[in-house]
A and B are shown apart, each in its own frame.
Chain A
Amino acid sequence: MARQVDADLLIIGGGGAGAKAAIEAHDLGLHVVMLVKGFLGRSGCSIFAGNLNWFGPPGDGARPRSEAERQKQTLEFLAKYTHYLGDQEYMKNAARFTFDHFYPWLEERGLYILRDDDGAVVVDLPHGTQAWATKMGMSGQIIMDMMRKEIFRRGILVLEETAATSLLTAGGAVVGAAALDYRRGEQIVVRAKATILATGHSNYLSLRSTGTREGTAAGWVMAFRVGCALQNIEMQWYHVSDVAWPRSWMRLHLYPNPLPGTAHQTRLYNRDGELFFDGTSVPRNPVPYIMQLKALVQQVRAGKARLDGGYYTSYRHIEPEVVRGHIYQTQFVEKLGLDPLRDVIENGVTWHMNVGGIRVNGQTMQSDVPGLYVAGSVSALVTGGLPNVMYDGYVAARHAADEIRGRPLPRLDQSVVERDLARVAAYFRTDPEGRLLPAQVIKRIRTVMWEHMNYIKSDATMRRGLERLQRIRQEALPRMHVGSPSRRFSYDWIEAVDAEDMLDACELMIRFSLHRKESRGGFFREDYPITDNARWLRHIVGRLENGALRLEELPVDLRYAKPAEEVADFFAVDY
């Protein structure tokens, strides 16, 4: 029998979105329970956030900027950053929150935003679009450490190393979740008046990816299974400037973005030592990431780089004080015996963030299913950005609090609970035929995604990928076993559950991708190398209906910014 825990509000995920929601809801008087697959504030991607959007503040003596100008810049940036698929009203509100709440709330509690010796905030020159907590690369780690401690200080119940395995429904509403505490080897049922799903990006799906091992798309799949719509999940954002080796360091961003205290940005060189990308050379370019990807594709096609290596980041032209004093990443370069002021660092592409995710209401964070709110990068609203995910958590907690105040705890549907617990329990098996560790199966899935769903893809490669995934489902899933009869810290057990989720997510993602017949930003198809705003500036939305995926297209919010061109060569536009 599973242990049962009751809560007013269940929060699933311990990154920026979940943590902010927990604090807000607790401070509004709710009894909050958190389920965190990793460690609170030490798992997921929030700890990776290096740059913090700045664009201001208005009236800053050094760089006077009007409120209107800041808003415009932020929106232009975010619209291009999401290839015009982002919800613009949401982006506007989130940008305002960044200034009105994110920075002051954290600074009041002790966050240190890097200053120079005269007290000015260190920004990129000349525009001042980013700020950093102590160093480039450290911001998220420091912020999340603060959030972790703020949560423990409040006595909020946090179940760490405990993964939600399904959302529980009763009478058409979400009433909690089933979970696996893999540290203790125990299944848990959490019953709650409302649930906030904040499980982060689905970015552990390919062999080279920036996500942590929890980024197995559980959030998407759990929500999809209870009837939520997924939106634009084909829009996978790849990242060019990640180290090629060693393997565990592939999530080390050697950002192409503006750097602290300098007008320079990193440069990329191909196999032959030719410069092929420098963010500063792209005029008024707010999204160097995407421009970098496009530049890399051209190098790969010319045989001068590979997706997994053979091109290099350089810091050689950047002031030594900046490289040594302000950038966390360069110590890794030194650890490999290289000199960041002289040597170049080999890079490879990673599967990074998702533009899409679970479709939600951008004003309330409500999903299509009653009782379920969605916050942070698991939703279709957020592509990245620690301030944005905290905005989501803040909004979701406030709306959930309003909705559930005074309401009794819901009744669980025991047949649903039993079915979900049994599904997970069945994965704890030690002796199937032809045994495979779940980690081996996950590696196969990630290999298929790397080989067939990489940045350069086409109808043919994706269909081949789909076939290979189906074969894994039929042949490998039944052979998964946990490596020991011990239930203590059986990561094998949770990985077996993950493997099934990953297969579902990857298949869905390929189906969405086959539907979008154009190329846009992080999404590139060799067979459709045009950005077709006339036909495809649309959301692709899919949900489960009668056991099958039903796709539809819905309009995009373009109220503040829209692309100039109807149809364009993919390589000619800067988004």
Chain B
Amino acid sequence: MVRATVFKFAPDVDPAPHYETFEVPLARGMRVLDVLEAIREDLGQPISYRWLCGVKKCGLCAMTVNGRPCLTCWEPAEPDMIIEPLAGFPVIRDLVVDRDAVDARLLDVDPFLHRPEDQPYRGFPEPLSGAAMRRAGTMMNCIECLACVSACPVPRERFIGPAALVQLARWAFDPRDGADRAALAVAGGIAECADCGDCTAACPAGIPVKEIAIAGLRELCIRSGYPDAGPAPQEKCRLVVPRGRDR
């Protein structure tokens, strides 16, 4: 059996959040998401949660499981679980959070290819090598599930966050792009990154967020003449304020 203790809260009708515990039979290879589905479909117990694809593509089923951000279609069910909404986001109802503010930041990094004027597109397929696209290709595995944003300890007011930086890196690493991506990284507060690596640990797509996305952007910033974007991990640790859940 799987025992799942689930956070429940409908802010318009419930006086306060509470937890309910459910038991469902453990199925073969069961994911956390499968447990939630079984609670509704087999036990007839209502819980609100968001999911669409079930195979790590829509990026919408991230929640906090046993204290850690995870994509629930990806991670296996454990015998005893506490399932809560993705930490650091306002709760709409039960396990559903409001992603809008963070989703908007993903657009702040100008996530579009800007070809230099003297290198216009000349038709498909354009000259491009796999080797030159390798780093950008790794960034394209990002499904914007925001698990990294939930894991990131740096306050959001000063820092655009790891997911947006991965999106920025995707274009910065693309040899076809001519936009000033370093300026966007600096404006997004890349210097605030604490270099803790919690983003990499949380990423269900296995993207080395700290090691490749952020480090690569920092290199670019330095090359582009923004010396203060580089890492200073020891100093940064002091700046990190442990953030409670905004619910």
Instruction: List chain A positions with a Cβ less than 8 A from chain B.
Output: 38-39, 42-43, 47-48, 57, 99, 103-104, 107-110, 112-119, 121-122, 133-135, 138, 140-142, 145, 149-150, 152-153, 183, 212-214, 245-252, 331-332, 335-336, 435-437, 439-440, 442-443, 482-492
Contact = CB atoms under 8 A, between A and B. Distances in A.
B129 A437 contact: no
Contacts of B177: 110
Contacts of B94: 489
Contacts of A116: 129-130
B67 interface: no
B48 A110 contact: no
A484 B107 contact: no
Contact of B58 (A47, A150, A485, A492): A47
Nearest to B142: A145
B46 A437 contact: yes
Most buried by B among A116, A135, A213, A437: A437
Interface string B157-181: 0000000000000010010110000
A251 B131 contact: no
Contacts of A245: 27-29
A336 B76 CA distance: 9
Give the size range of B's interface with the partner. 35 or more
A256 to B, nearest CB: 18
13 contacts: A42-B53, A104-B123, A110-B174, A112-B174, A119-B128, A152-B107, A213-B51, A251-B53, A435-B44, A443-B41, A443-B42, A486-B93, A489-B50
Q: Is the interface of B mostly helix, strand, loop or mixed?
A: loop
A48 B57 CA distance: 8
B121 interface: yes
A117 B31 contact: no
Contacts of A336: 29
Given A47-B58, A110-B171, A183-B92, A214 B52 contact: yes
A360 B79 CA distance: 51
A145 B112 CA distance: 11
B44 A436 contact: yes
B53 A119 contact: no
B96 interface: yes
B55 A251 contact: yes
Contact of A488 (B11, B52, B74): B11
B41 to A, nearest CB: 5
Given A43-B53, A248-B55, 18 more contacts: A42-B59, A112-B128, A119-B127, A138-B141, A141-B57, A141-B143, A149-B111, A183-B96, A246-B29, A246-B30, A247-B31, A248-B73, A437-B40, A439-B41, A440-B41, A442-B41, A483-B46, A489-B93
A150 B110 CA distance: 11
B48 A115 contact: no
Nearest first, the 5 A-B pairs at minimum CB distance are: A483-B46, A110-B113, A486-B10, A248-B54, A246-B29
